[in-house]
Amino acid sequence: MSGVLVIAEQRRGELRPVSLELIGAAQALRRSADEVAVAVLGTAPEQFVAALKLAGVDEIITVKVAAAEFDPDTFEAAVGALIAERRPAVVLVAHSIDAFGYAAALAARLSLGFATDVFKVERIDGELVATRGGYGQKVNVEVDFPGRSTVLLAIRGSAYKAPEQAAAPRVSAFAAPPTASRSVGRGFSELSAADDVDMSAAEFILSIGRGIGEESKVAQFRELADAIGATLGCSRPIADAGWLPKSRQVGQSGKTASACKLYIAMGVSGAIQHLAGMKHVATIVAVNSDSEASIFGVAKYGIVGDIFEIAEELRRYF
Amino acid sequence: MKILVAVKQVAALDEDFVIREDGRDVDADYLIRDLNEWDDFSLEEAVKIKEAATEAVEVVAVSVGPEEVDESLRKCLAKGADRAIRVWDAAIEGSDPIAIARVLAAVTKREAPAMLFAGVQSSDHAFASTGIAAAAFLEWPHAAVVSWLGYAPGAKSTVFRRELEGGVLHEVEIQSPAVLTIQLGINTPRYASLRSIKQAAAKPIEVLSPADLGLAAGDVGEAGSLSRVRRMYVPDKGRAQLFEGDAAQQAKRLAEIIREFKGEST
């Protein structure tokens, strides 16, 4: 058992950026003799080879499968066969929606050591140790995998950096076993835009979360956002409740605040899915009554206090 | 026709918690327990299917955990589950999500439902693994992060949408029986009425052991797990610089930051 096998992720003809971060994670746990191989699955996997020729990659494996897009049965069969042939010590996948659909099944079926949402990997006294969050990210949990010759880890997005330098790894093709898939993709759609806001283009966002308590309070924050010149955004519970359109949701399944420079979060506790969409913003100000809220862990500035009181006081300046 | 809904009683940390002496978990005295938020949505989805069906549909809630889990199962009964099953034995202690999934798969084999629903993940440890691992043990088709479901009871296949990153949906048709993990926001979970809470209190909760389900000792606990907790600790967090003073002073500082930002960008 040696080497690291990275499973790259692609969707609709594009390599997902998190795939390259996995190559970064692989460097953190490779031993001197370990090779890092990156496998990419698809109907025409060769198209992704050029983008994967990066420092730290020894081999790119193209795996031609019948399904153009992610399908659990196809991935489990192909990746399972690849693991059986290559016998890697570690398999890295992204902690992504696609991986949610097959990684646990693969680990269960092949009895692989297994951990998800891992943000740190290391070897301690030669043993593989993965660190993840627990109890709503309030604690860190180190897990190990006694007796497992292959360990499958799902790595959290943005935990590792993608390599920037190019390299010239060898390229090989792996013949995946034919799979009778029990589900079939029927196509993609975008969430219908209920208003014309583009959260990813907004430079200044005022975001509201569960802390606003009730729908009737939305109006006063909308008014505040207008007054200070911010785009009004929200966390998942607000969009799920229908208080604001889904297009205003910032986070993993919503929009990423890509262009944002100033992000004010009011009553947002900071679930990991929300942080995924905004923690990169240069200036984050969090206002929350709970001094232990996770949002204070990523914010530059914080106010522990009542969001309504702060909102009211703030309004007087604009 | 039956739908089985796997639920978990999650734990949140009390304000001042302490790590257990062995350093591998939080002292249980400092845990506040509740039904997992995701499971509220998967239960509601099953109950909605039952209410819309022309044939009789039974909704069964199942959980793995000690007696205190009955509280969460009663919540499920009050919100429309017809029956509840709880599986426990001291040997299950220390199970990772894969070992729990093995227990859920055994219950599913016994109950033989047309669908097994689970939450996408739990709010405490967020493994996002249990439902899909159960599907592997069952050898059932499976899909994760379902945010829309068009299931007609008894149908050989069903169409659903997976909620992907960045607001994209993927429509998929899957054969049944299947395991689906249900995402927040797929519906609006109901509140239990006082009357239904009262009725739920009188409903029995069936308690099973792994042995009742034909599982061996090595199937659960640490022996049946694919990972082991080595250490749990409170991280040194990057911490926001907090504004001092009263609300008026704090708001003034915030106003300054906004003004400064606007000055820079305009």
Nearest to B132 among A101, A112, A287 (CB): A101
Q: What is the pLDDT of residue A197?
A: 87
State the DSSP string of B127-170: ---HHHHHHHHHT--EEEEEEEEE--TT-SEEEEEEE-GGGEEE
Judge whether residue A192 has pLDDT over 70: no
CB contact under 8 A, A95 and B128: yes
Taking the Cβ of residue A180 and every Cβ of chain B, the question of whether any pair is shorter than 8 Å is answered with no
Q: What is the pLDDT of residue A193?
A: 59
What percent of chain B shows pLDDT beyond 90?
92
Nearest CA in chain B to A154: B127
Judge whether residue B266 has pLDDT over 60: no
Tell me the ipTM for this assembly.
Answer: 0.94
Which residues in chain B have their CB less than 8 angstroms from residue A313's CB?
Answer: 247-248, 250-252
Q: Are B239 and A297 in contact (CB under 8 A)?
A: yes
Burial track A39-73 (b if 16+ CB lie within 10 A, e otherwise): bbbbeebeebeeebebebbbbbbbbebebebbbbb
User: A19-33, A185-199, B164-178, B223-237: which has the minimum mean pLDDT?
Assistant: A185-199
Kindly state the average pLDDT of the residues A75-81: 98
Kindly state the average pLDDT of the residues A49-54: 97
Q: In angstroms, what CA-CA distances link B189 with A241, B47, B75, B77, B118?
A: 10, 10, 12, 13, 15
The CA distance from B75 to the nearest CA of chain A, in Å, is 21
| 269-288 of A, contacting B, C-beta below 8 A | 272, 283-287
Taking the Cβ of residue A114 and every Cβ of chain B, the question of whether any pair is shorter than 8 Å is answered with yes
Q: Are B57 and B45 in contact (CB under 8 A)?
A: no
Q: What is the pLDDT of residue B264?
A: 60
Rounded Cα gap, residues B242 and B236, in angstroms = 16
CB contact under 8 A, A236 and B185: yes
- Give me the helix-helix angle, B97-111 and A103-110, nearest 10°: 90
Rounded Cα gap, residues A40 and B91, in angstroms = 40
CB contact under 8 A, A105 and B126: no
The CA distance from A104 to the nearest CA of chain B, in Å, is 5
CB contact under 8 A, A183 and B253: no
Taking the Cβ of residue A128 and every Cβ of chain B, the question of whether any pair is shorter than 8 Å is answered with no
What band does A194 get if pLDDT is binned at 50, 70 and 90? low
Q: What is the pLDDT of residue A196?
A: 73
Which residues in chain B have their CB less than 8 angstroms from residue A79's CB?
Answer: none
Q: What is the pLDDT of residue B265?
A: 53
Q: Is B202 helix (H, G, I), strand (E, B) or coil?
A: helix
Judge whether residue B194 has pLDDT over 90: yes
Which residues in chain B have their CB less than 8 angstroms from residue A284's CB?
Answer: 240
Mutate to test the interface with B, among A200, A303, A308, A317 (most CBs of B within 10 A): A303
